[in-house]
Structure 1
Amino acid sequence: MMYWNGMNGWGYALMMVGNVLFWAAVVVGIVLLVRYVGRSSPSPMEPRLPSAEELLAQRYARGEIDSEEYRARLDMLRGSRADA
């Protein structure tokens, strides 16, 4: 076993504090990196919810509503968006 000459209690304490600070910095760096990468790109597994106009267009395409009702609801959606 190798002994360090001149290493007293303060030397061991400073070495231990330095080691803890180093590993804390590594962990914080990894956490920040993961949060940055996760925020910058949307998850491909997360489905995107369709907008109100897309839902209305799908209902019109399926024949659930006629063209008159589609136009009236579309105008209402666009009008309420302009008001907000």
Structure 2
Amino acid sequence: MMYWNDHGMNGWGFGLMTVGMLLFWGLVVVAIVLLIRHLVHTPQHAPGAYPVPQPERPSPEQLLAERFARGEIDADENRHRVDALRSAGPPAAG
């Protein structure tokens, strides 16, 4: 005798299959939406969205030290300028 449900899916199998398919298609839709959002929000389309790191600018004392090392200014002029910078206080933020 042949049984139609022998080794086949019962009610739980159909339910799990339905939930699995819904989850699968939900993930496909979410992946497509995220891909489209990523492609639309590239730096070419949204300037300023991704800040470009600026290289650090050397401090005035570092610039004077480099000029002194290259021989552009002598020791007395270097000392005078460093003293003038230090007496003026920290540079204003800007």
TM-score by length of 1: 0.44
- Choose between structure 1 and 2 for higher RCO, CA contacts under 8 A separated by at least 6 residues: 1
Q: Which structure would you say has the larger Rg?
A: 2
Query: TM-score, length-normalised on structure 2?
Result: 0.40
Higher relative helix content? 1
